[in-house]
Amino acid sequence: MRITKRNLLALTLSTALTLPSIALAQDGAIKIGLLATFEGAFTVLGEDGERGAMTAVNEFGGEVAGHEIEIIRGSSDASPDSAVRAARKLVEQDGVKVLVGPLSGDEGIAVKDYAKTQPDVTFINGSSAAQDTTFRDPADNFFRFSTDGAQWMAGLGTYVYNEKGYQSVATVAEDYSFPYTQVFGFMAEFCNAGGTVPSKSWVPIGNKDYSSVIAAIPDDVDAIYVALGGADAVNFLSQYQQAGGEAPLIGGSITVDQTVLTSEGRLRDILIGTPAAGPTADTNDSEAWLSFVDEYKNTDGAFPSPSLFAHGYYIGMKAALLALEETGGDLSDPAAYREALANLEFETPTGKVSLDENRNAIADIYLTEVVEGPDGNLVNKLIQTTSQVNQTLGIDKEEFRALGAVSRENPSCP
């Protein structure tokens, strides 16, 4: 290629475009990395996670202990390698000492493993909820103030067996660690209550066409437990409706989240009445939750009610800032900062949160049911609260460990 005037111009322009990002770094500001899925199938979820994190930052007025907070975004596409790549960029290029994220289950496990190689950096989970991010082989510098996917299911299995009278349930879930954890949490209670799960379908994440999966679900089950997220949930639900599905549904935590309830289409009829459980409930009328919702709604593009991703990132970011406040904005001694994090116990919009010895949260979980709200929006109505659920679901720790790691096959009760 000859160097022509035009090529030179293009070169200059492209150089100029990359400049501002270098010029932006400020003195004295505390840099916090924010890692979420801003691309791929979980984009909507990542964007809402960011809204939650920004709600916490706004609550502190954008500064902590006299230092300005500078948020640096890192984007992944929900795949573990993209999460690690984004984390590396934030840690190794931007030099953040605190990182909030990631969003999705497998990402959490990958970032936890990366955290072990970066002892000077403190990682605080966003909303990823796989069990083994903190339960087996945890990292000392990885904290999770949001609970895990099995904890989120607290109360659901018993409720559908006793109150709804479902005795056999088929499951449809994505094929990675977070849905394994959710199915585990659901089945732990449901099978214990006497229910059976004759068929489990695991579908690849980002799958579009569920009609074949729907057809393969046995006709004689009482209900279908669906643990799919974002676009996957919308696709499954609309195709289930198109296929004339009749069995009632039970929702995983992110299946009937606001990200799904607000999507366009004919999902309404099949969603209303769906029981689910998770760390948030839209109709929660506690003072703390209502003021959180108000704060949240000040962010751009907010949903009618914060999704659990906004909630998870809010709690993670808030914990990061509270601990920073305690150390006076000083991050030079990571041990002191982590000490402050580990001892943190604070009131969140959804009740008290504290950490166990694996640095995993103990918090309240809500059982909900989808209803039509006063303004026509679909919302998750609060049915009951299970207070202070720990990671072993109240089972003795060694006994719980003996149940084995969650997987496609574990647990099983056909």
For residue 248, say if its preceding peptide bond is cis, omega within 30 degrees of 0: no
CA torsion sign for 312, 316, 321, 326 is: positive
Stretch that binds another protein, among 49-57, 108-116, 263-271, 384-392 (CB under 8 A): 263-271
Binding footprint of another protein, residue count (CB under 8 A): 41
Stretch that binds another protein, among 4-12, 63-71, 261-269, 290-298 (CB under 8 A): 261-269
Q: Give the Cα separation of 318 and 55 in Å (integer).
A: 9
Residue from 30, 31, 34, 43 touching another protein (CB under 8 A): that is 43
Stretch that binds another protein, among 66-74, 158-166, 212-220, 250-258 (CB under 8 A): 212-220
Site for another protein contains 266 (CB under 8 A): yes
Q: Which is nearer to another protein, 60 or 202 (CB)?
A: 202
Angle at 103 between CA 189 and CA 187, to 5 degrees: 10
Site for another protein contains 206 (CB under 8 A): yes
Could you tell me the CA-to-CA distances from 107 to 188, 280, 364 in Å, in that order? 24, 22, 24
- Quickly tell me which residue has 């202070």 as its tokens: 388
Q: Give the Cα separation of 95 and 91 in Å (integer).
A: 5
Angle at 269 between CA 283 and CA 236, to 5 degrees: 95
Residue from 30, 34, 36, 41 touching another protein (CB under 8 A): that is 41
Site for another protein contains 160 (CB under 8 A): no
Whether the Cβ atoms of residue 379 and residue 304 lie closer than 8 Å to each other: yes
Residue from 24, 325, 408, 410 touching another protein (CB under 8 A): that is 408
Q: Which is nearer to another protein, 28 or 265 (CB)?
A: 265
Stretch that binds another protein, among 79-87, 235-243, 281-289, 392-400 (CB under 8 A): 235-243
Q: Give the Cα separation of 396 and 400 in Å (integer).
A: 6
Q: Which is nearer to another protein, 154 or 270 (CB)?
A: 270
Report the chain's terminal Cα–Cα distance, integer Å.
66
Site for another protein contains 81 (CB under 8 A): no
Whether the Cβ atoms of residue 360 and residue 135 lie closer than 8 Å to each other: yes
Q: Which is nearer to another protein, 300 or 399 (CB)?
A: 300
Could you tell me which of 15, 107, 102 has the C-alpha nearest to residue 309? 102
Whether the Cβ atoms of residue 160 and residue 166 lie closer than 8 Å to each other: yes
Site for another protein contains 82 (CB under 8 A): no
In the bound complex, what is the minimum distance in angstroms from residue 266's beta carbon to another protein? 7
Q: Which is nearer to another protein, 3 or 402 (CB)?
A: 3
Could you tell me which of 200, 194, 204, 245 has the C-alpha nearest to residue 226? 200
Amino acid identity for residue 104 in this structure:
S
Site for another protein contains 405 (CB under 8 A): no
In the bound complex, what is the minimum distance in angstroms from residue 414's beta carbon to another protein? 14
Stretch that binds another protein, among 233-241, 250-258, 309-317, 399-407 (CB under 8 A): 233-241
Site for another protein contains 209 (CB under 8 A): yes
Give one DSSP letter per residue of 143-167, joined into a string.
EB-S--HHHHTTTHHHHHHHTS---
Q: Give the Cα separation of 129 and 229 in Å (integer).
A: 13
Pairing of strands 30-37, 67-76: parallel
Pairing of strands 169-174, 223-227: parallel
Stretch that binds another protein, among 117-125, 177-185, 228-236, 388-396 (CB under 8 A): 228-236
Residue from 5, 22, 27, 264 touching another protein (CB under 8 A): that is 264
Query: What mask of x and - would describe binding to another protein in positions 290 to 329, judged by CB under 8 A?
Result: -----------x----------------------------
Site for another protein contains 207 (CB under 8 A): yes
Q: Which is nearer to another protein, 77 or 222 (CB)?
A: 77
Applying the rule CB under 8 A, the residues between 94 and 133 that interact with another protein are none
Element (H, E) at 61: none
Could you tell me which of 235, 239, 269 has the C-alpha nearest to residue 255? 235
- The beta strand positions in 245-319, using DSSP E, are 249-251, 275-278
Applying the rule CB under 8 A, the residues between 45 and 64 that interact with another protein are 46-47
Amino acid identity for residue 329 in this structure:
G
Stretch that binds another protein, among 3-11, 113-121, 234-242, 287-295 (CB under 8 A): 234-242
User: Site residues (CB under 8 A) for another protein?
Assistant: 38-41, 43-44, 46-47, 77, 175, 201-204, 206-209, 211-216, 218-219, 230-231, 234-235, 238-239, 242-244, 263-266, 301, 408
